[in-house]
Amino acid sequence: MDVVNLRIMFGMHGPAEGSIEAQVTKLAELQRKGLVRNIGLSNVTRAQIQEGRKICDIVCVQNQYNLAHRDDDALIDELARHGIAYVPFFPLGGFSPLQSSTLSGVAERLGATPMQVALAWLLQRSPNVLLIPGTSSVGHLRENLAAAELELSADVLRELNGVAKAA
């Protein structure tokens, strides 16, 4: 397997502290046997990432993150400095899709959908952000791909950054 993401479920509503040494050690053993090429972590805290990195290389972190849910802002920048990819889950809001008059207004001005703008914002957030948005149709896939073509100006980025403060 190219990448195995170890999902930690200590907390009911997001990352929660607790040792991940035993689980990461087992994955590292599988890596040494050639069964796993790379190891990632999901739903983790900064301390858990540091703990995991003492055991093996961590290639990616997958936590909840989107235009409105920005708890990992500093973590994304820290991971970028270490060459570790950040894979946001629920990039479009998950079970509660992103809704914001600011997002809708920007999308209308750009001739795009709000979800395209939300994806474009993520793509421009940091070079280590790797998006895997879900899709249910070819049309939806094309819509998601078109988000990569949107260029958001510095003014638009500032406007969108305010969405998290209002949420």
Per-residue pLDDT tens for 106-125?
A: 999 999 999 999 999 999 99
Are residues 6 and 39 in contact, defined by beta-carbon separation less than 8 angstroms?
Answer: yes
Contacts of 113 (CB under 8 A, 6+ apart): 107, 143
Site of tokens 């739903």: 43
Supply the pLDDT for residue 95: 65
Predicted TM-score (pTM) of the model is: 0.90
Q: How does pLDDT run across 139-150, given as a tens digit for each residue?
A: 889 988 999 999
